[in-house]
Structure 1
């Protein structure tokens, strides 16, 4: 499996985005724009991209700022930007979207995001929903609550004491490390990602995965979370937009899928009428790298097929 193309595109933010493209086999039906998660990179989605390409979807997936092979003078590994990092991430996503529109005028675009990428995809949707045919938000936690407020206080203290561009000392303990300990009889600290030991081992062996994010990156991420937790931000989105939510019953990052179900409930209460939401039994955080990934990918393809039949 491989991507059809790897290229570098310059974003208006100044970032040199590392971008992967997988061309559709046969007549192209749509484009899926992938947004990867925290402390990983777009190349890990080659299996999903290949699956989609075989079913008539072009796929575009770039490394976000501070991730993978993307370069920006204000964004070393682990940092979105020295200032306005969240806004620059969304601007980069918009730049890739503009490229897609130029490469494939008239083709519908489905934005996809996993985990942090789900936060990014939703925030892109909040500002650009008129450009999207559908949105898939997977394994993302928009339950801000007291824990989110506490994290903001911790990060503000760390910024004061340590600065913004250094790794957070506390957030890894409250997130990745805590999630690792939540898995009974865990073999590695990253077993919370998947039941597939080979996939976990590949993640651990990858130097571009599993690093500690900076204080500023965490602050930007919580900005995404709180925007996604604010119902007033959704007022400009058409209520018939096809939306797909996915979670895992054994994913500690989403409170074992409860955060996904809660988000689905919020969307229903806001009047969104074209929503599919599923929390997969026994499944951990990385749905696309789980032992039941073929079922999950088939379900995504069926949802996308249904979404494309809608005007």
Structure 2
């Protein structure tokens, strides 16, 4: 059974789209969590690759992303916790063999949500893989949350915030002037950048409330006492591009590894790809990235 799409209903009534690649002979489950302003179908090629390596693969659209959604809006309240609970709901609905190892692969915004998941449910995992992630002092997130809070009161509930969009995505492109497009920061591969731009379910601005909720989550996962709740024995693999502005040009991944080591997580490895940007699965070296991820997962089994 491959490439099956199902819809599950979250506890608050939200409908979550899920895509599955499964077989009865799989050696583990890999659950993919996508990034902000994109969707699960962008991971089809990577999921198919993992499936051919012998894994069951799950990928779902985060609330506020994908078809039939209010794009860019988690929820009117408590969106951070609800996005984490969605991961749990998807797994409980889809995973048939609870004895198989479970890995969580998460990119960008998904990598932050995945850390929130690992803080709460890390004992369910056999490994955590974070792509295009970052760590920095929570002071920066507190400042951003204040702006998002002000934007929330300025705008209608659920309305996109151009201010937050400019402070985030627009600022990332400043590293790559002169710019061919507004999304040069995603990849060195112009074809992949153009695919993103031409995808109506990508590149949209998110609501002020979503930003406020996400920044609250970032504050949570940046605290030592919270990271300490992730099982210390959990293997973690962090990777990204040396030219990724989300990961502060490699500094953020190194900082996250150091912070995890400080909280007693000794089984943490990282890899930075020279000259690569944010979307490593869509970079010019993507096949090396695919194989490196698969090799790391195999080592954990």
**Global fold match (TM > 0.5):** yes
2:13 is paired with a residue whose SS is: coil
**Alignment coverage as a number of residue pairs:** 301
Per-residue displacement from partner, 1:279-310 (whole Å, max 9, x unpaired)?
A: 111110000000001111111011100111xx
CA contact (8 A) 1:251 1:283 kept: yes
> 2:57 is matched with which residue?
59
Unaligned runs of 5+ in 2: none
From 106, 110, 119, the equivalent of 1:117 is 110
In 1: Cα distance, 2:243 partner to 2:131 partner: 14
Of 47, 71, 74, the match for 1:77: 71
Aligned twin of 2:195: 202
How big is each residue's C-alpha offset from its partner over 1:204-247, in whole Å with a ceiling of 9 and x where there is no partner? Answer: 00000000000011111112211110110133332111101112
Question: What is aligned with 1:23?
Answer: 22
Structure 2 equivalent of residue 131 of structure 1: 124
- Structure 1: 5+ residue runs without aligned partners? none
Task: Name the SS of the counterpart of 1:28 in structure 2.
Answer: coil
Q: Does 1:287 align with 2:285?
A: no
1:50 corresponding residue in structure 2: 48
Task: Report the Cα offset of residue 164 of structure 1.
Answer: 4.1
Q: Deviations over 1:160-212 (max 9, x none)?
A: 22244221232111111111122133211101000111110000000000000
2:95 corresponds to 1:86: no
Normalising by structure 1, we get a TM-score of 0.93
**Structure 1 CA distance for aligned equivalents of residues 181 and 219 of structure 2:** 31
Would you say the 8 A contact 1:248–1:284 is kept in 2? Answer: yes
Q: What is aligned with 2:271?
A: 278
Q: How does 1:167-178 map to 2 (within 5 A)?
A: 167-178=160-171
Greater RCO, CA 8 A, separation 6+: 2
Residue equivalent to 2:182: 189
Q: Does 1:37 align with 2:43?
A: no
User: How far does the alpha carbon of each residue in 1:61-86 deviate from its partner, in whole angstroms, 9 at most, with x for none?
Assistant: 00010100265xxxx21100011111
Instruction: Please state whether the residue corresponding to 2:210 is helix, strand or coil.
Output: helix
Q: In structure 2, what is the Cα distance between the partners aligned to 1:234 and 1:179?
A: 27
8 Å CA contact 2:141–2:216 kept in 1: the answer is: no
SS at match of 1:253: coil
**SS of match in other structure, 1:61:** strand
Q: Which residue of 1 aligns with 2:11?
A: 12
- Aligned equivalent of 2:92, options 98, 101, 110: 98
Question: 1: distance between equivalents of 2:45 and 2:283?
Answer: 12
Task: Pick the aligned partner of 1:253 from 237, 246, 250.
Answer: 246
1:240 maps to 2:239? no
Runs of 4 or more, structure 1, over 3 Å off, are none
Residue 148 of structure 2 corresponds to residue 155 of structure 1: yes
